[in-house]
Structure 1
């Protein structure tokens, strides 16, 4: 069997998320209003880099995962992250009556929460990738959320897990993760997630039963 989690971006963009795909040669990317990720071979040729540039545009950035060949002359690495992947077949999942489905009308409030908490990129159309659930406080403000992002065949990524500072310490993140995982399993799929290597939330994921599968570099590169 092919380990689709070894290359989840290409697996999603050539599979269940093909409708969100833009492609040039062997390079794929999500529509830029949907997600920042590019799908590409580990060993990129000069021709492949040309296709990356064609999709991104001059003086723009591209997000490359686990690149194994040198960048072309004039390309620069803006920032590098350690991208850590966890598989969630062993976690407990359950619906949560306190969670509410989030819709495109909620995107401004979701974006504001993401800007406060920095869980990772959340773009205007990210919500189209799957189910998003939130928890609101007594005043109706959105204080926590989580949702679905990449969807390689047989799996769905849990993403945008975040809690407002004033609502932390109440277990909201773990409740949302279990609720999102419940919906994923209802479709016969397995949850997984990504985080950065310096994110202390890894302790929560391990406690919940997520299993570390791999850690790879994720680079933001600028095209000349």
Structure 2
């Protein structure tokens, strides 16, 4: 695999986010509190034995590509598929589409985690907002929508954690926050990309309309050490 997106989790954990991870040259995971994602240099033949000393029973981790049977000492909780989409290169908006959005920092961590638990945008932890830029929209002092950045490798930078409180949907928050991130990433010379579950056809169609294109579809699993 030579393209950064072909093994993005490992390329990020072993590269730009090494300081946020723990493990060895055979397996790495994000540190506790960050997004529960693991990576392997060969994702088709993951070395779960090498990962095991860095995990505790009952923790849940996301991994991709691998589709073999559960290894000894591990249980497969979820077995699904997701699309990986990359920006198609069209220019972003000329003006900030979400000038009212505020940067999220440690003071917002609990509220961001609560919103993520309510809306389930993907693997999210208390410290996930440390993984890149995160912005949020507030109403009456309450966080009602957010979006941010997760993994990165080469020129590619992931947009993730996109979610809106159910009581505040239909107001364009998600789109404007994503456009804000896209504009900032393109200005830095980066290529935005993202993930969406294959079963979520509505979200997939939305991202395609925004200007993303399918890079590929891959297995995604949630696994637990027992």
| TM-score, length of structure 1 as denominator length | 0.90
Partners in 1 of 2:72 and 2:6 — Cα distance?
28
Tell me the residue number matched to 1:6: 6
- Name the structure 1 match of 2:177: 176
Q: Say if 1:160 and 1:54 are closer, same or farther in 2 by CA, change over 3 A.
A: same
Which whole-Å CA distance do the structure 2 matches of 1:167 and 1:33 have between them? 27
**Residue 16 of structure 2: SS of its match in structure 1?**
coil
Contact 1:30 1:37 in 2 (8 A): yes
8 A contact 1:91–1:210 mirrored in 2: no
Q: How far did residue 26 of structure 1 move?
A: 0.9
Distance 2:18 2:73 in 1: 31
Paired with 2:106 and 2:208, the residues of 1 have a C-alpha distance of: 32
Give runs of aligned pairs for residues 14-25 of structure 1, distance below 5 A: 14-25=14-25
Alignment of 1:154-165 (within 5 A): 154-165=155-166
Q: Does 1:149 align with 2:140?
A: no
| Aligned residue number for residue 70 of structure 2 | 71
Secondary structure at 2:151 match in 1: coil
> Which residue is equivalent to 2:217?
215
Structure 2 residue runs of 5 or longer lacking an equivalent are: none
SS state at 2:125 partner: coil
2:113 maps to 1:111: yes
Range with greater deviation from structure 2 (75-84 or 200-209): 75-84
Q: Quickly say closer, same or farther: Cα 1:158–1:91, change in 2 above 3 A.
A: farther
1:166 aligns with 167
CA distance in 2, matches of 1:17, 1:60: 20
Give me the whole-angstrom Cα distance separating, in 2, the residues matched to 1:69 and 1:25.
Answer: 21
Q: Which runs of 5+ in 1 are unaligned?
A: none
Post-superposition offset of 1:58:
4.4
Asked if the contact 1:92–1:208 (Cα under 8 Å) also holds between the matched residues in 2, the reply is no
Aligned residue in 2 for 1:140 = 141
Partner of 2:36: 36
- Corresponding residue pairs, total: 221
